[in-house]
Amino acid sequence: MNVPHESGTVLRWPYAVRYGTERDYEADVLVIGGGIAGVWAAIAAASTGAKVIVLEKAATERSGAGGPGVDHWQWAADNPGSRISPEELAQALVDNQGGYRSGISTYIQCASAWETLEEMERMGGKIRDTGDEFRGAEFRDEKTKLLYAYDYTNRFVLRVWGHNFKPLMREQCRRLGIRVFDRVAVTSILTEGGRPGARVVGAAGVHCHSGAYVAVRAKAVVLATNRPKRIWTFSSELRGITTFRPPSCSGTGYAIAYRAGAEFAMMEKSMRSSFASPYAYPPYGSGNAINTWYPCTIVDANGKEVPWVDAWGRPVSGVAARCRPVEGQKFFIMGGGSSSQPHPGLPQHLGPKPIPDLEARMLAGEFVPPFYADLAGMPEMERKAIWGIMVGNEGKTRIPVMKTYMASGFDPERDMLQSYDFLRGHGMREPVLPQERTFGEQGVCGGMLVDWDLMSNLPGLFGAGDLLFGGQDHSHAAASGRFAGARAALHARRSSAGEVSLEQIEREKKRVYAPLACSAAGPDWKELNAAVARVMQNYCSELKNAELLSLAKTWLDDLQANEVPRVSAGDPHQLMRVLEVHDIVTCAQMIVSACEARKASSAYLHFNRRDYPQMDPAEWHKWLVIRKQGEDVAVSDRPIAFWGDFESNYRPRHAENAAAMASASQAASRAAA
Ligand SMILES: Cc1cc2nc3c(=O)[nH]c(=O)nc-3n(C[C@H](O)[C@H](O)[C@H](O)COP(=O)(O)OP(=O)(O)OC[C@H]3O[C@@H](n4cnc5c(N)ncnc54)[C@H](O)[C@@H]3O)c2cc1C
């Protein structure tokens, strides 16, 4: 097969092409998406003795948002140094989002992030300052050698050396006999009788190199494919390192679960986000005081230090004070100037940040641009933590930022790093237009609705990681993946294998291979993606009303009916891209349906309905849930804290998971002896 290249030359497709050839497999538990949540789910399921298969679109060793690394392990309230209980921390995280954060998976994270990290340590991950590089630092516990971030008093976020966690997890899959199939883009969930809403019996997809069809029959399926992207902004030319999340995470999991009849919550939330801008510098690659760079000192062009204030606007002086709760606060969960749109979180949970009126004060002449991150002026331990553990292990910064800058002569003890605040191109706080929105590049967003087993309304379909409604973070993906994998394995143990519908397989094969038969003269996947983004920019942007949303729906339906069938693919890679964009159309339709259903504005959801301008009225303080029903969308709602009590729902399930893993491990030891 020859593939035209933009250089004008014709390249040979390097793999044998096998369109239509079917490869069938069977497992107790199938995991879709070999990212952080998926691999943890696979490891947990296999640790209970289940037969596990992972289907991953890219290469599991490094795939997904967390593949390149992790530097901060969030909300580990179960760690030995924490002074805050999982209940208190989970509730604060939920309250900080006005209730629009999942109490279920957030509690699982707060109650088991540490035990998950301990398992990572047993796999070979470095989680302690074993070389005593930070001996005596304020953020180090001398006994355990653990290092903490943000709130040094209450100690529930750990600094970790996570650049190789993903390869270590891949190695663990080998040890546990998990079958990992890389380069398989899953395109549908298989249900009993092929009926939407029925029990889930497996999934199927296309191999991205050969084009072969891969079908797996399983008693339980864990979906862990992260969130939709490229809904409002798409440019094939301005992307690369400027995007935050990897292109393989394109929302397919949402589309396939929705088509199968799964329920989704909070799909109406979207926001302006620096992370969506195609003009941004590499994330964490320019001077800032956010997340990884917290609590870095910022100075102006004359070296004048930018003051910091607490959540009530009171001055906070000195680096040490930025890392302790202030008067009126028991603990804080976030600090640093963090977003282009103010976060409406509660002051008692927000940490110190550089003055929010810096721009006005600069325009009045008090500060002179450009600004710089003054690493050289930081206390030595803080400097070494930021430009060392944090930038050295944060996703996507180890090589592009740390290694490249240092190879070019950057010396954190001597040099300052320019910030692009108030210029164009900041790597963290890009000034973005209202229509440059993101669904889930950043923060807590909508996703698949699950219960305390992390199972959806479809029997046998579990979810984990960023795809879950109202959850986020690496440690959340790890802890929820581990929990979902064990629950799925126990579900599989209690279930018989369901029948895969041959009719569904044939119907799906016809759908996924259709782009191969389209004329190359039609639009390509990039044009279709750009068209979706333009529709969403125009009609589902910051300001919404019924008329605009109805136009969005009309245009998306038009694209679905008239353009989707014309987009062609010339090789298996293009086929994967075309199918991704088909699913992006579905994700956009899901978002518009949810936006139509919420007839009130909400600051927490960054949701502005001009025809319902009242912000967060009490009667709309609830989750909106959408589900596909034939060609219609069924809308229902759930009370804001519908999950009930944390401990009594979590603890018995956690105990059952642990017992299943312990008994499988004992059985394995007996067999080995
Ligand atoms: C640059 C960066 C830095 C970050 N730093 C931190 C940090 O320090 N601390 C923190 O808490 N969080 C951090 N995060 C967030 C964290 O990485 C994510 O929360 C976490 O990776 C989510 O895990 P996941 O398993 O849900 O998704 P992912 O890890 O993205 O995995 C999803 C997987 O699904 C695969 N997939 C997608 N579609 C399909 C399909 N159709 N078929 C088969 N496979 C498919 C993808 O290829 C991918 O491997 C960071 C994120 C980024 C992007």
- Would you list the domain boundaries of the chain? 291-418, 518-639
DSSP 411: -
Predicted local confidence at residue 623, as pLDDT: 98
Nearest Cα residue to 59 out of 185, 222, 165: 185
> What is the pLDDT confidence band of residue 219, given thresholds at 50, 70 and 90?
very high
Distance 60 CA to ligand 1 centre (A): 11
225 lines ligand 1 (CB under 6 A): yes
Do 291 and 351 contact (CB within 8 A), yes or no?
no
* Residue 187 CA, closest ligand 1 atom number: 41
pLDDT in tens, 169-202: 999 999 999 999 999 999 999 999 999 999 999 9
Pocket flag, ligand 1, residue 228 (CB < 6 Å): no
The reply to whether ligand 1 has any atom less than 6 angstroms from the CB of 466 is yes
Residue with tokens 């990572």: 120
Q: Which atom of ligand 1 is nearest to the CA of 74?
A: 11
CA of 394 to the centre of ligand 1 (A): 13
Return the best residue to mutate from 74, 157, 473, 580 for the ligand 1 pocket (most ligand atoms within 8 A of CB): 473
Confidence at 75, pLDDT banded by 50, 70, 90: very high
52/35 Cα distance (integer angstroms): 15
Exposed e or buried b per residue across 560-576, where buried means at least 16 C-beta atoms within 10 angstroms of its C-beta: beebbeebbbbbbbbbb
User: Which atom of ligand 1 is found nearest the CA of 58?
Assistant: 47
* Residue 216 in contact with ligand 1 by CB distance below 6 A: no
Q: Which residues contact 330 (CB under 8 A, 6 or more apart)?
A: 84, 154, 348
What's the pLDDT at 449?
A: 98
Residue 64 backbone phi and psi in degrees, to 5:
85, 175
Q: Is the CB of 55 under 6 A from ligand 1?
A: yes
> Which atom of ligand 1 sits closest to the CA of residue 284?
1
pLDDT band at 341 (very low <50, low <70, confident <90, very high): very low
Region 107-135: what's the mean pLDDT? Answer: 98
Tell me, what's the pLDDT at 205? 98
pLDDT at 347 over 70: yes
Candidates 466, 469, 472, 482: which one to mutate for ligand 1, based on the most atoms within 8 Å of Cβ?
A: 466
Contact 54, 179 (CB under 8 A): yes
Ligand 1 pocket residue status of 186, Cβ below 6 Å: yes
Residue 421 alpha carbon to ligand 1 centre in Å: 27
Ligand 1 neighbourhood includes 584 CB (under 6 angstroms): no
CA-wise closest residue to 229 among 187, 270, 262: 270
Of 197, 205, 201, which Cα lies nearest the Cα of 217?
A: 201
CB of residue 244 inside a 6 A radius of ligand 1: yes
Would you state the structure tokens that stand for residue 189, as one six-digit string? Answer: 């969930």
Residue 66 Cα, ligand 1 centroid: separation in angstroms? 5
Q: How far is the CA of 35 from the centre of ligand 1 (A)?
A: 6
- Closest alpha carbon to 520 in 4, 19, 21, 1: 4
User: Do 395 and 275 form a contact (C-beta atoms < 8 A)?
Assistant: no
What is the share, in percent, of the chain residues with pLDDT greater than 90?
A: 84
- The average confidence (pLDDT) of the chain is 94
Q: How far apart are CA 347 and CA 355, in angstroms?
A: 15
Distance (Å) from CA 441 to ligand 1 centroid: 10
If you measure from the C-alpha of residue 73 to the centroid of ligand 1, how many angstroms do you get, rounded to a whole number?
A: 14
518-639, CATH topology level = Methane Monooxygenase Hydroxylase; Chain G, domain 1 (1.20.58)
Distance from Cα 36 to the centre of ligand 1, integer Å: 6
In this prediction, residue 516 carries a pLDDT of: 97
Q: In angstroms, what is the span from residue 205 Cα to ligand 1's centroid?
A: 20
Average of pLDDT values for 66-73? 96
Q: Rounded to whole angstroms, how far apart are CA atoms 90 and 564?
A: 42
Are the C-beta atoms of residues 477 and 37 closer than 8 Å to each other? Answer: yes
What stretches of 370-480 adopt beta strand conformation (E)? Answer: 372-373, 417-418, 437-438, 447-448, 461-463
Q: Are 661 and 48 in contact (CB under 8 A)?
A: yes
Strands 417-418 and 372-373 turn out to be antiparallel
pLDDT attached to residue 670: 87
Identify the CA nearest to 391 among candidates 71, 670, 85, 637: 71
CA 105 to ligand 1 center in whole angstroms? 16
Helix (H) or strand (E) run with residue 635 in it: strand 632-639
The confidence band for 338, taking pLDDT boundaries of 50, 70 and 90, is very low
Residue whose CA lies nearest to ligand 1 atom number 4: 395
- DSSP conformation class of 370: P
Among 30, 36, 288, 398, residue to substitute to test ligand 1 (most atoms within 8 Å of Cβ): 36
C-beta of 230 in contact with ligand 1 (< 6 A): no
What are φ and ψ of residue 225, in 5° steps?
Answer: -110, 20
Q: CA–CA separation, 172 vs 178, rounded Å?
A: 9
243 alpha carbon – ligand 1 mean position (Å) = 13
Report whether pLDDT(281) > 70: yes
Assess contact for 253 and 458: CB atoms under 8 A.
Answer: no
* pLDDT number for residue 428: 65
Locate the ligand 1 atom nearest the alpha carbon of residue 292 and give its number: 8
Q: Is residue 472 lining ligand 1, measured as CB closer than 6 Å?
A: yes
Distance 620 CA to ligand 1 centre (A): 31
The whole-number pLDDT of residue 276 equals 64
User: What residues form DSSP beta bridges with 612?
Assistant: none
The secondary element (H helix, E strand) that includes residue 158 is strand 158-159
Model confidence at 541, pLDDT cuts 50, 70, 90, reads very high
**Nearest ligand 1 atom to alpha carbon 71:** 8
Distance CA 565, CA 561 (A): 7
**Cα dist from 410 to 143, 292, 375, 395, 407, whole Å:** 34, 18, 11, 20, 7
pLDDT band for 343, please (50, 70, 90 cuts). low
Burial of 516 (0-12, 13-18, 19+ CB in 10 A): middle
Beta carbon of 226 within 6 Å of any ligand 1 atom: yes
Tell which one of 43, 53, 70 to mutate to probe ligand 1, the residue whose CB is within 8 A of the most ligand atoms.
70
Alpha-carbon distance of 296 to 133, in angstroms, equals: 20
Report whether residue 609 contacts ligand 1, using a CB cutoff of 6 Å. Answer: no
Partnered with residue 73 across adjacent β-strands are: 158
Q: Which amino acid is at 648?
A: S
Average the pLDDT over 217-232 and give the result. 96
Number of the ligand 1 atom closest to the C-alpha atom of 580? 41
> Which residue has a Cα nearest atom 52 of ligand 1?
65
Q: Ligand 1 mean position to 226 CA, how many Å?
A: 6
Task: Kindly state if the Cβ of 38 falls inside 6 Å of ligand 1.
Answer: yes
pLDDT value at residue 339: 44
Can you list the alpha helix ranges (DSSP code H) found in 346-456? Answer: 358-363, 380-384, 391-393, 404-407
- 553: nearest Cα among 519, 598, 586: 586
The minimum-distance atom of ligand 1 relative to the CA of 37 is: 25
Q: How confident is the model at residue 543 (pLDDT cuts 50, 70, 90)?
A: very high
Q: Using the predicted structure, report yes or no on whether residue 587 has a pLDDT greater than 60.
A: yes
Using omega within 30 degrees of 0 as the cis cutoff, is the peptide bond preceding 617 cis? no
Q: What is the mean pLDDT of residues 71-84?
A: 98
Using an 8 Å Cβ cutoff, are 264 and 253 in contact? no
> In the β-sheet with 264-265, what is the strand arrangement from edge to edge?
447-448, 264-265, 622-629, 632-639
* Spatial contact of 16 and 45, defined as CB atoms under 8 Å apart: no
396 lines ligand 1 (CB under 6 A): yes
What residues have CB less than 8 Å from 301, skipping those under 6 apart? 368, 369, 370, 371, 372
At 340 the pLDDT is 43
Is 523's C-beta closer than 6 angstroms to any atom of ligand 1? no
Q: Find residue 222's DSSP bridge partners.
A: 31, 462
Residue type, 533: A
pLDDT at 282: 81
Mean pLDDT of 604-629: 97
Closest CA to 159 of 183, 184, 137, 188: 137
Helix and strand counts by DSSP (H, E) for the chain: 15, 26
Ligand 1 in reach of 65 Cβ (< 6 A): yes
Higher pLDDT, 356 or 34: 34
What's the Cα-to-Cα distance from 331 to each of 42, 74, 78, 443, 476, rounded to whole Å? 35, 14, 16, 20, 20
Please name which of 211, 256, 319 lies closest in space to residue 33, comparing C-alpha atoms: 256
Most distant CA atoms of the chain, gap in Å = 76
Residue bearing the CA closest to ligand 1, atom 48:
64
Q: Do residues 654 and 479 make contact, with C-beta atoms less than 8 angstroms apart?
A: no
Does the beta carbon of 269 sit less than 6 angstroms from any atom of ligand 1?
no
Confirm if 301 and 446 have CB atoms less than 8 A apart: no
For residue 454, pLDDT over 90 is answered with yes
